[in-house]
């Protein structure tokens, strides 16, 4: 094999390797875009399902999520996201915080939970500290 033939063969191998790598990177990029699109679509569909099943009133009271858990509010003025409330004691709050009511923050209006709901005791003043 002559020097010229060796150079041609090496150029061919290098071109093949570089083309293969570029193709692989391009395919990987397309796959990443597809995954990103699918994740966005799943979030959109989850939101549509949530909107379709979310209820804002149960037995004449306002249904809200407080720190991710469903509660019922029977106060005169409706609660808004960010309102601080007092929650009734339960076995978890008693272990974590001791006996008596515990504080929480309204994180979402409406609920998708369909079981028994504890009733919020009242509004709590915001901490100023």
Same structural domain, 83 and 116: yes
Do 61 and 118 lie in one domain? The reply is yes
Q: Does 128 reside within a domain?
A: no
pLDDT in tens, 38-64: 999 999 998 888 888 899 999 999 999
**Token couple for 64:** 């809200």
Both 79 and 44 in a single domain? no
Q: Do 11 and 65 fall into the same domain? A: no
Instruction: Clarify whether residues 49 and 65 are in a common domain.
Output: no
- Alpha-carbon gap, residue 15 to 58, rounded angstroms: 69
* Same domain (yes/no): 118, 61: yes
Whether 129 maps to a domain, the answer reads no
Give 97's DSSP letter.
H
Report how far residue 25's alpha carbon sits from residue 23's, in angstroms, rounded to the nearest whole number: 5
At 112-122, the pLDDT tens digits run: 999 999 999 99
Domain hosting residue 48, numbered range: 1-53
Task: Give the CA distances from residue 38 to residues 33, 41, 42, 47, 48, in Å, rounded to whole numbers and listed in that order.
Answer: 9, 5, 6, 14, 15
My answer on whether 41 and 87 are in the same domain is: no
Q: What is the reported pTM?
A: 0.63
In a domain, 64, yes or no: yes
- The answer to whether residues 45 and 90 belong to one domain is no
């Amino acid at each position: 094999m002559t020097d010229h033939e060796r150079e041609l063969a090496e150029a061919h191998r290098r071109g093949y390797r570089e083309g293969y790598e570029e193709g692989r990177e391009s395919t990987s990029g397309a796959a990443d875009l597809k995954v990103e699109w699918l994740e966005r679509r799943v979030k959109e569909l989850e939101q549509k399902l949530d909107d379709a099943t979310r209820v804002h009133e149960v037995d004449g009271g306002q249904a809200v999520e407080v720190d991710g858990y469903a509660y019922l509010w029977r106060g005169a003025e409706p609660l808004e996201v960010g309102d601080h409330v007092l929650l009734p004691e339960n076995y978890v709050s008693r272990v974590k915080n001791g006996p008596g009511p515990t504080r929480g923050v309204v994180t979402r209006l409406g609920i998708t939970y369909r079981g028994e709901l504890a009733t919020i005791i009242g509004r709590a003043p915001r901490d100023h500290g």
